[in-house]
Amino acid sequence: MPRRRFFWRLYAFFLGLTLIVFIAGGEYAAHGFKRFYYEYAEKDLASRATLAAQLIGDRPAAAGSDEDAFCKEIGRRADIRLTVVGPDGVVTADSIASPKEMDNHGQRPEVREAFAGGVGTVIRFSDTTREERMYVAVPLKRNGKIAAVVRTSIATEPLMNTLRNFQRDMALTAAAMGLLVFGGVFFFLQKINRPLAEMRQGAKRFAEGDLNFRLRTPNYEEFAALADALNNMAGQLKSRIETIARQRDETQAVFTSMREAVIAVDADERVLQMNRAAAELIGTTGDAAAGRMLTEVLRNTELLKLLRSALEKKENAEGEVIVHRGDEELTLYVRATPVRDPEGKVLGAMIVATDVTQIRKLERVRRDFVANVSHELKTPLTSIKGFVETLQDGALEQPEEAKRFIGIIARQVARLQAVLADLLSLSRIEQQAEHGDLRFQDGAIRPVLESAVELCAHRAAQKKIEISLDCPPEARSRMNPDLFEQAAVNLIENAIKYSEAGRAIRIAVAPEGGGWKIDFADQGCGIEPQHLDRIFERFYRVDKARSRSEGGTGLGLSIVKHIMSAHGGSVTVASTAGVGSTFTLHLPA
């Protein structure tokens, strides 16, 4: 396809566009002027008809000839045709024709509209004047009722003449403006027909790295070849650079955001790259470790053994490794994989380490829970079974012994019931919190704590333990009062249980970060540091013999923990062996 000259192509485009704009604009303006002129004429006729109806309505009822003469006089002065139509459609007066010679107008649309109480408007051919006319009819009221219809009309020919004159003037104006536009476009295109400077500047911008810039002459004979070549070159360079940068960023983003620790080494065990998780695990940075031997940045022999196994045996090696990060001990599942080139040669290896510390901890808690609950149930069941067999073997014949044995059985059954009740309570709290079935309300904290103290008052009195409560009256929180009271009772009972007679228990409420903290401080035996991390586990006992002798189930603190979790809060403990413990409930804002 032969290329057309840029100048004439652009000039033809502007010429055609200008013609289209002027033609469309002229047609739209003519149509708008016609609509405006007809609306103006209609409103003028309606105003005159309303005025005529008022004048006729103010005259006393007279003979038709008087009304006809009056209409002719008004029509002559106003230069309009005025017609009065009676309720039966008979014309009673007309400013141009004789009413007797005129047809019945009852079915004329404008007359019907006026008798309906509106303003009737229509344009149609008049048989009387033999021309097209615009009619406007309004109701004539006497004593609040429509007595007749007054209709005004004018010929549309003068309106059309005015519109034709307007269109002629618009055409002349458009022609003059068109000549100015065509001359201006011709002058403008003559100036831009010398784009060599632009081409030179475009090439300079490409050389400076501005690859988003594009020359604007892709399809014209004079500069098409050079413009296309420069634009294609810039586009290809930009695409290739963006592809390389995007691939690098994607790889780096995936590598950096991985939760697993990843280390890549070459065949000489020199670090090629490591992600953020691996750097944090080792205690260094990726930039600092790059290029160094792995043995310089990593001291764990088990992990190094897995890496060397993958490099030497050229196959995957995996296993669990214990590493230390500060005072924290972590369990990692490590997988070492050899990295090969397309020919299969081993270039190095990649280590991927996943932190499974929490999983192993949960597994241990599960095992401990199964063992503890089995032990908690086995002990009373064994006792019950032994005393039942003793009774069956003849102890029933000895009333005193039988009574004692049955009392022991009853205590063991009560212990089993307490364990099962706490297990069910714990399960219910977990399920309700998980499914959102717990009902919370805004309420004062002090009444709930006072109720908990009252429930524990009898047992405290038995050991001569005084319980003090310090709670500001403005302390309020969104809570489930029953569950919150249960948590408070559990902590108070524990404080009583592990405190010597005559000691004191202090409950203090204080603001904390928009919420509240409630301290339960005792002067009991305290807790050794090694037990503090596990005392909220189910069935975990610091002093197993004393706990069972006091009737505890080993679930009280676990219930407290789950109640506070359901409230969106937490429970913490601070304790010193031989001095006492302070359990703190944290209620959120």
Q: Are residues 416 and 446 in the same domain?
A: no
Q: Are residues 342 and 367 in the same domain?
A: no
- Is 2 inside a domain boundary? yes
Q: Which long-range contacts (CB under 8 A, 24 or more apart) does 300-304 make?
A: 303/332, 303/334, 303/351, 303/353
Bridge-based pairing state of the strands 261-266 and 346-355 = antiparallel
State how far the Cα of 329 lies from the Cα of 321, in Å rounded to an integer: 10
Q: Kindly tell me the sign of the dihedral angle through the C-alpha atoms of 532, 535, 541, 547.
A: positive
State how far the Cα of 250 lies from the Cα of 537, in Å rounded to an integer: 43
Q: Which long-range contacts (CB under 8 A, 24 or more apart) does 179-183 make?
A: 181/14, 181/18, 182/14, 182/15, 182/18
CA 269 to chain CA mean position, Å? 48
Q: Tell me which of 193, 213, 234 is where a domain ends.
A: 193
Contacts of residue 430, defined as CB under 8 A and 6 or more positions apart, other chains included, come to 562
Low-confidence ranges of the chain (pLDDT < 70): 1-12, 26, 33, 59-65, 186, 188-197, 217-223, 255, 285-288, 326, 365, 367-379, 387, 395-396, 412, 414-437, 538-554, 589
Q: Are residues 56 and 145 in the same domain?
A: yes
CB atoms within 10 A of CB 290: 14
Q: What pLDDT score does 540 carry?
A: 66
Q: What pLDDT score does 282 carry?
A: 73
Q: Are residues 445 and 429 in the same domain?
A: no
- List pLDDT tens digits, range 517-572: 999 999 888 888 887 777 777 666 665 544 444 545 667 788 888 888 888 888 89
Q: Are residues 309 and 369 in the same domain?
A: no
- Split into its structural domains, the chain has a count of 5
Longest dimension (CA), the chain: 142
Q: Are residues 305 and 285 in the same domain?
A: yes
Q: What pLDDT score does 142 carry?
A: 80
Is residue 493 within 8 A of residue 562, CB to CB? The reply is no
State how far the Cα of 37 lies from the Cα of 134, in Å rounded to an integer: 12
Is residue 320 within 8 A of residue 232, CB to CB? The reply is no
Q: Are residues 403 and 270 in the same domain?
A: no
Q: Tell me which of 397, 417, 435 is where a domain ends.
A: 435
Q: Kindly tell me the sign of the dihedral angle through the C-alpha atoms of 365, 366, 368, 369.
A: positive
Instruction: Name the nearest CA neighbour of 59 among 16, 93, 88, 12.
Output: 93
Is residue 587 within 8 A of residue 477, CB to CB? The reply is yes
State how far the Cα of 156 lies from the Cα of 566, in Å rounded to an integer: 85
- List pLDDT tens digits, range 283-302: 776 666 777 787 777 777 78
State how far the Cα of 492 lies from the Cα of 67, in Å rounded to an integer: 110
- List pLDDT tens digits, range 384-412: 777 677 777 776 677 777 777 777 777 76
Q: What pLDDT score does 376 carry?
A: 61
Q: Are residues 525 and 559 in the same domain?
A: yes
- Is 199 inside a domain boundary? no
Q: Which DSSP string do the residues of 229-297 spell out, in sequence order?
A: HHHHHHHHHHHHHHHHHHHHHHHHHHHHH-SSEEEEEETT-BEEEE-HHHHHHHTS-HHHHTTSBHHHH
State how far the Cα of 481 lies from the Cα of 484, in Å rounded to an integer: 5
- Is 200 inside a domain boundary? no
Q: Are residues 411 and 450 in the same domain?
A: no
Is residue 95 within 8 A of residue 75, CB to CB? The reply is yes
SS3 458: helix
Q: Are residues 325 and 370 in the same domain?
A: no
State how far the Cα of 476 lies from the Cα of 570, in Å rounded to an integer: 17
Q: What pLDDT score does 64 carry?
A: 44
pTM over the 0.75 mark: no
Instruction: Name the nearest CA neighbour of 515 among 569, 559, 560, 552.
Output: 569
Q: What pLDDT score does 62 carry?
A: 47
Four-point Cα dihedral 503, 507, 510, 512, nearest 10: 100
State how far the Cα of 465 lies from the Cα of 459, in Å rounded to an integer: 9
Give the residue numbers spanning the domain of 271: 258-355
